[in-house]
Chains A and B, each alone.
Chain A
Amino acid sequence: MTDSHLTRRTLLRYGAYGAGAAALAGTAASWDRLTGADIPGRDDGSLVVATLGPAYGPEAIRTLREGFAELHPDIKLRINAVQAVDWSDFFAKILTQVAAGTAPDLVYVATEGVQLFAQRLGVALDQWVKRDAAELKEYFADVHPSLVESMMYEGSLYQLPVEFNAADMYFNQQVLRRAGAQFPSADWTRDDFTALLRDMKQSSGSRFTPYFWTNRLWGGVVPWLFANDTNLLAESKAPGGDWLWDGFYPAAQRKGRGGGFRWTTPQATHDRVEEVYDYLASLIQDGLCTRPEGGNGQNLIGVFSTGRVGVTPAGGFWAGGLHLAGMERDGFDVQYFPRWRTQRMQYGAAGYALLRTSKMQDEAWEFIKYAARKDTLERLFATNQTTPARRSLLTADRYEKTGPARWPVFYDTLDRFPDTGPIPAPPQVAEVEQVLLKHTGTALASSRSVRPALRRMQGDLEKAMERDV
């Protein structure tokens, strides 16, 4: 039972509490407080560009911003360098921004995400490319059609490639000398490769691993699949794209080009896929290479530069990386991936994708063109942290300090082997990659585990590809 009678004193006290609370609420309501709109750059009319943070450091971002401001002083630009460990982590963060309603206008997207963004989020660039065809002729003449084709989806172009990296083979020259081996020729074979690894192993101590490789979509098992003339998913090309090929490329270069790649039916149980896994399992069994899970890019430069690894697949990005790690330009060199049934090689490319949610699509197109200009790429990739998409940027001067001596290999991978293609990356790429990594680890436990693991991989890939993203 409560006392329902309030004394005059209590009434006065509650009255004072109420007046105090009302005064506080009034003050709070009228306070000039911070909101989401006060975050620098948000809702201030800037064109927002999301880049992969670790790839674009502060210096690169400053270069990009200042150069754009000179050309387009009327467009406010904000570069949002998203910190992420890899492309899949980067896409996850971008999608979170999309879900939160703070999507950028442009996103730097690699092959891994091209089709996902194109299918769900991207705007085709066709209308602008056709409009500014005269201006873009010089760009397309300087960029290999294969790179452009990898940025197409179902007949439309979604990005202008600005960089790429093919999986070429790097050698530690000190290890080669120790093994008394010759530098391999451009048309070397898988058996030459195996023999070289054995020589390296014999001439080095127990703490040495001849071949270092990673377990991922780019640079892992996939280049071996390409070399053996197969793929994880059946590869074909979408129709269309003539509007681009006819307008920008001569007949010889546009032959066989289509409207972008299609990766459809899983074929993990294909004989040639099994052959590749058997081969890699045998290398592991013989102590000629690391287990795939043990290899990752973080410790690769260290072990390679100190001569504890002889050979590894890497892209043009490694020239800058090894140079920064203190390796002399003649301490390493690069060659094409060895031939098996073919010498088709794999690459990954990247460019800027325009999002449907953008309210500044014309301004975004101006940035896309600016980012693909020769002078922009020259400034941006000055330290050879990647392979520029423009052929004209690969010059002797560029590699004079960083090396390697055979730097033309980087772009010639495309020119010499025109069937070289992008890593398989359908819209379901995240799940496909996860399945690949998981079952590759299991498959290579021993030669007997290859077949059952590939059967499970096939089942999981089928499920993944059936799912609508």
Chain B
Amino acid sequence: MTLVFALAASALFGIGAYLVLNRDLLRVVLGIVIISQAATLTLIAAALTRGVAPIYPLRGALVSDPLSQAMALTAIVIGLALTALLLVLVLRVVRAYRAKGLDDVAEEEAEREARRERRTAREHEDEEAAAR
């Protein structure tokens, strides 16, 4: 049983990692969501015991571990909030750059950087000339 969980979690992590390395911003978000699911699945699998619900255990009856379920629940909630935050960020970036791919964003950044670099170099040259 644990092996099945481990295989499922590692497959999810692999798919997520592949998507994160993608150039499309939405796919990056999707990849992060899938990685978060891999972590949640691992949390559940970390304390996998079979038994009745632990709300009012009968004496001698086997109960399942409530702690790992509580942790998984918290992780899901946090993951959901972060997904929402990430989507808003992507939306704002897309609006600011009018572009969807990381490529376009990176290109624009590089251009601005190059312009800035040229400007500072020119300023420093001017200063040096003035100092002489």
Please say whether chains A and B are actual partners in one complex.
no
